[in-house]
Amino acid sequence: MSTFRIRVLSKDEIGTKTRVYGLPVRPEANWVYYRYANGQLSKYFFMRLEKRKCYLQIALNRSLPEVRQMIASLPPSDRIIIEVGTPFVKVYGSSGIGMVYQCWSAKLGRPGYVVADLKCMDRGYTEVAAAAAAGASAATCLGLAPIETISEFIKHCAAAGIDSTVDMMNVEFPFEVLQKLRPLPDIVVLHRGVDEHDLNRERSIPLHMIRRIKGTYPVTISVAGCETFREVTSTVFNDADIAIVWRPFYEEPHKMAELAESFLKVVI
């Protein structure tokens, strides 16, 4: 996987063949130039999330062969984001992320948007670099982490050219975290954990926070912990940009295609 993205060259630096080790320029267009290990230069299209569009994020947590089959049965839609779950990352490492990225890109016919759910808590930069090299377009950090860690994480994500995501799981007041952060993350995840949902049914997804955060900060909001069509509908109705669905796909991997299509109908 190490040969995947080696060096990012900005548009102006193509003729000069200089090595770029600092911050890559993030162009407005959805392409960059990449130089591969063999020296070949290629124009590389990648997926940027568009504003005013809703996405369905499918978290994959099963074993690698099953995940491959699941991706193969998904409809090749622009509006699907693949998330590589934390247990999956901890079992297969960055090579697992690379494999998922390749499968999903092969299915789409162009580079797909893959989120690596790293859940960084401390010193996340090595993990971020590894995930970016493996082909992830976004990585997550816990909102519970120390503020220093989160802001370093966001800077390193920008340096690696990927979207930074802050996961607000178990954070009582996401505003308190966001107001201390400079620069702001690209995506904020409002989260209801799996374990807490199983053991404590009273806890609901904090849908009221979506409009409050979007009104104050220019960030993309995604909501995790949706399980039913009803929950996804109310999430999208409340202005969330991304709905993260995990359990239905985990429990019925053979029904991937139908589930994804019916969820996509809800996510408008």
Partner 1 sequence: MASPIKVFEVFTTIFNFAIFFFIVRMIFRKKKGAPAGSPLLQFLEKISQQARHAPKGAPTSTQPAATPLKTPIALAFSSLSQKTAQMPLVPVPTAKLQKSKQYLQIALNSTLDDARSIISRLPPSDRIILEAGTPLIKIYGAEAIRTVRAMAWPGAYVVADAKTADLAEREVEMAATAGANGITCLGVARVETIDRFIAACKQHGLDSMVDMMNVESPHMLLRQLRALPDVVVLHRGVDETEFSKEKQIPYYQIKQIRGSYNITVAVAGGDTIREVQRAVFNDANIVVVWKDFYSSSVDTVTLAAQFLKEIK
The residue among 84, 77, 87, 117 whose CA lies nearest residue 99 is: 84
159 binds partner 1 (CB under 8 A): no
Tokens of 147: 């503020």
Q: Is 30 in the site for partner 1 (CB under 8 A)?
A: no
Whose Cβ is closer to partner 1: residue 128's or residue 219's?
128
- Which among 266, 259, 268 has a CA at the least distance from the CA of 58? 259
* The one among 34, 74, 119, 248 contacting partner 1 by CB under 8 A: 119
∠ Cα 230 64 95 (to 5°): 115
Q: What is the rounded CA–CA span in Å between residue 67 and residue 64?
A: 5
Q: Considering only residues 57, 94, 105, 235, which one is a binding residue for partner 1 as defined by CB under 8 A? A: 94
Please pick, from the candidates 57, 137, 149, 222, the single residue that binds partner 1 as defined by CB under 8 A: 149
87 contacts partner 1 (rule: CB under 8 A): yes
- Residues 57-76 close enough to bind partner 1 by CB under 8 A: 61
Shortest gap between Cβ of 145 and partner 1 (angstroms)? 7
* β-bridge mates for residue 205, sequence order: none
| 195-214 binders of partner 1 (CB under 8 A) | 195-196, 198-200
The CA dihedral of 22, 25, 31, 33, to the nearest 10 degrees, is: -40
Q: Is 165 helix (H, G, I), strand (E, B) or coil?
A: strand
Binding residues (CB under 8 A) for partner 1: these are 61, 85-87, 89-96, 118-119, 121-123, 126-127, 130-131, 142, 144-146, 148-149, 152, 169-170, 193-196, 198-200
